[in-house]
């Protein structure tokens, strides 16, 4: 193929961009194309999270009303996180707090933690005939406080429409640290509509609260955008095969879908966040090592995870994008 092009960026590769305008002024992005129809914008100033994913011309994720917001505007008080929650294809939540704001062990913890508002250091981009490997480092460290370092690697395939994120979080401090991580994956229009098919093979489902419990039977059925829609959350015991879990969504209207694949042993929890509001129209498919109930709740029920000094934890999620509904049916 390379004999036909003057520069590889003619068909695929990575380009570094800086955004201008409004609260996104100065934000850095790595824009990646794989030459097969997959386009990804990695937000380097927001932990390297993929803010937008386009597959063969159609948007896959949800983009919140606030749009791009640089980390200097982050509000760490209570639910101030939502003022800069771009959502995007996924937002990393953690690394010592996920879910509801709370006070735990004398520490005030904001909604979904702070890691998604920490700029990532771009260590390098390696390219081969099979794809791109993007290496990042996110430092969640402070004087007299926690010292967690996340080494993040993205692999974007040139052979198929897929990409994978692999994270290694290491406690580089001198004390045991809580460790919470959740991949807040946000499905948006046109991948998400009332005609989308959502698959979460499971051995059980638990509604987060009484409101969600009223609608458990329709948890996996998307709806049209509605005024005043109250969010519903469900926790799943996702089925797995040898530790490998798969969930997915497919919209026959655009003949496109995606499959998420991850190791349930290291990410044992799975949350569905269903919000079918007008403009607030998003379906969260969220693997994690915790539920989003707040660190205080997890500590009380004994499910809070910790990292010892110099201990590391590794997680990974793979996203595969498909057109063929037959393949989707075969998987699920």
Written as tens digits, the pLDDT of the chain (332 aa) is 678 999 999 999 999 999 999 999 999 999 999 999 999 999 999 999 999 999 999 999 999 999 999 999 999 998 999 999 999 999 999 999 999 999 999 999 999 999 999 999 999 999 999 999 999 999 999 999 899 999 999 999 999 999 999 999 999 999 999 999 999 999 999 999 999 999 999 999 999 999 999 999 999 999 999 999 999 999 999 999 999 999 999 999 999 999 999 999 999 999 999 999 999 999 999 999 999 999 999 999 999 999 999 999 999 999 999 999 999 999 99
Q: What is the pLDDT of residue 3?
A: 87
* Residue 70 near residue 154, CB atoms below 8 Å: no
CA distance 286 to 331: 19
CA distance 185 to 221: 17
pTM of the model as a whole: 0.98
CA distance 46 to 138: 9
The residue among 230, 193, 180, 240 whose CA lies nearest residue 208 is 230
Query: Which residues are bridge partners to 149 per DSSP?
Result: 139, 170
Q: What is the pLDDT of residue 1?
A: 67
User: Looking at domain 95-331, does it have CATH number 3.40.50.300?
Assistant: no
């Amino acid at each position: 193929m390379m004999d036909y092009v003057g520069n590889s960026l003619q068909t695929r590769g990575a380009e570094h961009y800086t955004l201008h305008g409004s609260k996104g002024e100065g934000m850095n992005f790595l824009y990646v194309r794989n030459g097969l129809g997959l386009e990804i914008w990695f937000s380097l100033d927001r932990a390297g999270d993929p803010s937008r994913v386009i597959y063969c011309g159609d948007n896959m994720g949800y983009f919140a009303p606030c749009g791009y917001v640089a980390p200097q505007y982050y509000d760490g008080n209570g639910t101030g996180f939502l003022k800069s929650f771009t959502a995007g294809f996924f937002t990393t939540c953690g690394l010592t707090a996920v879910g509801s704001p709370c006070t735990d062990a004398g520490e005030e913890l904001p909604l979904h933690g702070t890691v998604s508002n920490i700029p990532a250091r771009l260590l390098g981009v390696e390219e081969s005939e099979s794809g791109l490997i993007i290496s990042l480092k996110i430092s969640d460290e402070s004087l007299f406080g926690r010292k967690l370092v996340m080494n993040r690697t993205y692999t974007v395939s040139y052979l198929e429409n897929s990409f994978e994120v692999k994270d290694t979080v290491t406690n580089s401090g001198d004390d045991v640290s809580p460790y919470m991580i959740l991949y807040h994956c946000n499905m948006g229009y046109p991948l998400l509509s009332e005609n989308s098919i959502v698959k979460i093979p499971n051995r059980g489902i638990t509604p987060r609260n009484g409101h969600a419990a009223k609608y458990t039977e329709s948890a996996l059925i998307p709806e049209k955008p509605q005024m005043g829609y109250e969010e519903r959350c469900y926790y799943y015991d996702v089925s797995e095969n040898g530790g490998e879990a798969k969930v997915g969504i497919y919209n026959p209207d655009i003949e496109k879908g995606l499959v998420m694949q991850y190791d349930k042993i290291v990410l044992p929890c799975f949350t569905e966040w269903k919000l079918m509001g007008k403009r607030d129209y998003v379906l969260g498919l969220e693997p994690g090592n915790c539920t989003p109930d707040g660190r205080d709740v997890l500590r009380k029920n004994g499910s809070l995870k910790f990292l010892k000094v110099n201990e590391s934890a590794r997680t990974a999620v793979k996203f595969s994008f498909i057109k063929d509904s037959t393949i989707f049916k075969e998987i699920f």
